[in-house]
């Protein structure tokens, strides 16, 4: 099968050492917090065939069925799998500085990625929350390393998740134009190589437990993208299955006051494998049930290496918790949800400890984007950062991150190293000793040097808006934004001039002091580099999977 030119000669881009912002005062600007169009509550979608279809007919897939038609520009997956297996075997023979020097897969490190939804930079005790108590997550930080300059690749759900799993800018994998909805006819291409694909090729057990949001058709579900098993919701918890419209409306506060009635307002399906097992999902207990499944997976695979991807669907609105931890005051809703997540993280980590797996397990805790500030007491806080979800300001994309691996990552440390969630794939590859494929370009960089040093391999990062528009770049401590006002389809007259912003983050973490007029030459250089990087990403972008019209 012949590959397109976009898939040939993909080499990685390496950059110089990064600067990083320091702390500043806790004043922050809640203006420009645009999240209104992401994750809408309900929709009118097409009626699928089959009572258990997530969208259209729903035949069970298998890993072996991932052979594409001759029209596809991807390599044959079976051939790729053979090559991956050989590379993994050779790497295991040679060993690495982090993976055990043994061909016995039971010696390889385990990996757990905990990915919360819409959790703000300030929404953990160890990241400065004045009122949210998170002792279990704080303990992870005390025994591991906090990353205080860690970015999600986008300020909304689907693009950020695509970046984490593929190590690429969302635009490179075609998932940069906002989020997927239940009526969306596309998703993550099954021939993209995810973290799960990489580790599965080396004998890892793989599981996704939680919110997926990269496509709900069988070809785009976790079981078609490297995961042995899946248990969770296929999209955001405020979205409805196409067979079922939203049953009514309640304010956020009223939903919290009457959880038993509100839980049926959103017909969000709970899926196991490729089948709906609960509709609507009872979201009051969903965080606890995710943890139950995660613990079952860890216990079942304690004698072999495993990769657990645990993308919690909270604290994305609507907010729910079990009755035994419920606080009826709506002002405490968000706090209650985060503290419940903390308890469940504690249960999972304690299982790892009890099984004697601590020193052979890497745990990463982070969020998909910043807080949804328009929901006020239901929306979290970005602390000293400007704005939140849906924006390219720091509050939209700088998120809390903790990495924990006793014996590998020094305890009680903090790093300002410049890093992104795209960097997790190559970092995990380095820790586990599983080689990356060299047939495709990725944008992530190996962060293992930052486990013990402030030096980062990353010095630049491009910002795309929540709708996929090129909007800025960070180079070292400097951040340039070119914000263009969104216009409706029927807008008339000339478009307004873009707002040009330049911030020195090490001195202005809250992005309050615009230095654009004082630094025209720097602006010009940064704009040119931003356009150069975007041109390369666009030219080498790979296709998403799209549903055929007759299927």
- Contact criterion met (CB below 8 Å) for 321 and 282: no
CATH topology of domain 5-35+52-434+460-469+541-546: Alkaline Phosphatase, subunit A (3.40.720)
Instruction: Work out the pLDDT band at 52, boundaries 50, 70, 90.
Output: very low
Q: What is the pLDDT of residue 384?
A: 98
Helix ranges, 251-305 (H): 252-257, 259-262, 286-300
pLDDT given for residue 19 in this prediction: 34
Residue 87 has pLDDT above 80, yes or no: no
Query: Is 73's pLDDT higher than 80?
Result: no
Residue 245 has a pLDDT of 63
Alpha carbon distance 358, 109 (integer Å):
10
Distance, in Å, from the CA atom of 22 to the CA atom of 44, rounded to the nearest integer, reads 46
Is residue 391 over pLDDT 70? yes
pLDDT band at 487 (very low <50, low <70, confident <90, very high): low
pLDDT confidence of residue 310: 99
Is residue 365 within 8 A of residue 338, CB to CB? The reply is no
| Token reading at 127 | 């990241």
- pLDDT-derived band of residue 437, with 50, 70 and 90 as boundaries? confident
In the predicted structure, residue 66 carries a pLDDT above the cut 50? no
- Edge-to-edge, what's the strand order for the sheet holding 470-475? 460-464, 470-475, 478-483, 499-504
Give the Cα separation of 526 and 348 in Å (integer).
44
* Whether residue 146 has pLDDT greater than 80: yes
Q: What is the pLDDT of residue 405?
A: 98
325 has pLDDT over 80: yes
Query: What backbone torsions phi and psi does residue 460 show, to the nearest 5 degrees?
Result: -150, 155
550: confidence class by pLDDT, cuts 50, 70, 90: low
Between 71 and 178, residue with greater pLDDT: 178
Percent pLDDT > 90 in the chain is 71
Average pLDDT value over all residues in the chain: 83
The pLDDT, as a whole number, for residue 489 is 60
**Statement: residue 145 has pLDDT above 70:** yes
317 alpha-carbon distance from chain centroid: 17
Question: CA gyration radius for the chain?
Answer: 22
Residue indicated by tokens 């706090």 = 335
* Sequence ranges of the domains in the chain: 5-35+52-434+460-469+541-546
Q: What is the phi-psi region of residue 285: left when phi exceeds 0, alpha when psi lies from -120 to 50, beta otherwise?
A: alpha
Residue 140 has pLDDT above 90, yes or no: yes
Q: Look at residue 259 in the predicted model and tell me its pLDDT.
A: 87
Highest mean pLDDT: which of 76-85, 105-114, 358-367?
358-367
Give the list of residues 6+ apart from residue 5 with CB closer than 8 angstroms, or none. Answer: none
Q: Distance (Å, rounded) from C-alpha 138 to C-alpha 52?
A: 41
- What is the predicted pLDDT for the residue at 50? 31
Catalytic residues: 157, 213
First to last CA, the chain: 24
CA distance 320 to 256: 7
* Per-residue pLDDT at 482: 96
Q: What is the pLDDT of residue 275?
A: 97
Report, as an integer, the average pLDDT of 370-377. 95
pLDDT, tens only, 161-211: 999 999 999 999 999 988 999 999 999 999 999 999 999 999 999 999 999
pLDDT for the residue 496: 72
Asked which of 119-128, 132-141, 477-486 is least confident by mean pLDDT, the reply is 477-486
Query: Could you report the per-residue pLDDT of 264-318, keeping only the tens digit for each?
Result: 888 899 999 999 999 999 999 999 999 999 999 999 999 999 999 999 999 999 9
What average pLDDT does the segment 20-38 reach?
Answer: 32
Work out the percent of the chain whose per-residue pLDDT is above 70.
78
CB 547 within 8 A of CB 46: no
At residue 532, φ and ψ (nearest 5 deg) are -65, -45
Q: Among 88-92, 209-213, 287-291, 319-323, whose mean pLDDT is lowest?
A: 88-92
Q: Give residue 438's pLDDT.
A: 78
Question: What is the C-alpha to C-alpha distance for residues 153 and 422, in angstroms, rounded to an integer?
Answer: 7
Q: What does the pLDDT read at residue 551?
A: 55
> In this predicted model, which residue has the larger pLDDT, 548 or 36?
548
> Which of 50-64, 448-462, 500-514 has the lowest average pLDDT?
50-64
């Amino acid at each position: 099968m012949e590959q397109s030119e976009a898939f040939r000669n993909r080499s990685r881009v390496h950059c110089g050492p990064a600067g990083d912002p320091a702390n500043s005062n806790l004043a922050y600007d809640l203006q420009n917090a645009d999240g209104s169009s992401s994750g809408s509550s309900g929709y009118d979608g097409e009626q699928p065939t089959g009572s258990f279809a997530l969208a259209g007919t729903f035949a069970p897939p298998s890993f072996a069925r991932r052979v594409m038609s001759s029209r596809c520009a991807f390599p044959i997956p079976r051939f790729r799998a053979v090559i991956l297996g050989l590379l993994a075997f050779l790497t295991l023979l040679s060993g690495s500085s982090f993976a055990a020097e043994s061909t016995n897969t039971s010696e390889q490190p385990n990996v757990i990625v905990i990915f919360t939804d819409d959790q703000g930079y300030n929404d953990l005790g160890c990241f400065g929350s004045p009122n949210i108590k998170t002792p279990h997550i704080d303990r992870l930080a005390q025994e591991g390393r906090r990353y205080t300059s860690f970015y999600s690749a986008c300020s909304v759900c689907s693009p950020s998740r695509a970046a984490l799993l593929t190590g690429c800018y969302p635009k490179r994998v075609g998932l940069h134009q906002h989020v997927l909805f239940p009526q969306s006819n596309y998703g993550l291409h099954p021939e993209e190589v995810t973290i799960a694909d990489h580790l599965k090729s080396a004998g890892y057990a793989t599981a996704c437990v939680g919110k997926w949001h990269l496509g709900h058709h069988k070809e785009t579900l976790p079981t078609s993208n490297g995961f042995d098993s899946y248990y969770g919701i296929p999209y955001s918890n405020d979205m409805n299955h196409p067979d079922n419209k939203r049953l009514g409306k309640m304010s956020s506060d009223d939903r919290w006051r009457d959880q038993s009635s509100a839980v049926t307002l959103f017909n969000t399906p709970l899926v196991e494998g490729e089948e709906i097992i609960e509709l609507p999902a009872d979201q009051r207990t969903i965080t606890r049930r995710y943890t139950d499944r995660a613990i079952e997976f860890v216990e079942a695979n304690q004698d072999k290496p495993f990769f657990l991807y645990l993308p919690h669907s909270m604290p994305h609105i609507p907010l729910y918790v079990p009755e035994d931890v419920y606080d009826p005051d709506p002002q405490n809703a968000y706090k209650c949800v985060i503290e419940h997540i903390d308890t469940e993280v504690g249960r999972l980590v304690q299982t790892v400890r009890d099984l004697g797996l601590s020193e052979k397990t890497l745990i990463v805790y982070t969020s998909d984007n910043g807080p949804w500030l328009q929901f006020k007491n239901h929306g979290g806080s970005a602390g000293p950062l400007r704005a939140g979800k849906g924006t390219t300001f720091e509050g939209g994309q700088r998120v809390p991150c903790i990495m924990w691996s006793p014996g590998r990552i020094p305890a009680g440390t903090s790093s300002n190293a410049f890093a992104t969630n795209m960097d997790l794939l190559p970092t995990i590859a380095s820790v586990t000793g599983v080689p990356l494929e060299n047939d495709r370009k990725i944008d992530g960089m190996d962060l293992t040097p930052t486990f013990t040093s402030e030096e980062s391999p990353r010095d630049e990062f491009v910002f795309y808006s929540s709708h996929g528009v090129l909007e800025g770049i960070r180079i070292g401590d400097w951040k340039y934004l070119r914000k263009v006002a969104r216009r409706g389809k029927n807008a008339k007259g000339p478009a307004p001039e873009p707002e040009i912003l330049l911030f020195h983050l090490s001195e202005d973490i809250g992005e309050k002091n615009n230095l654009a007029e004082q630094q025209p030459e720097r602006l010009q250089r940064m704009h040119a580099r931003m356009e150069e990087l975007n041109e390369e990403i666009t030219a080498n972008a790979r296709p998403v999977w799209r549903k055929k019209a007759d299927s």
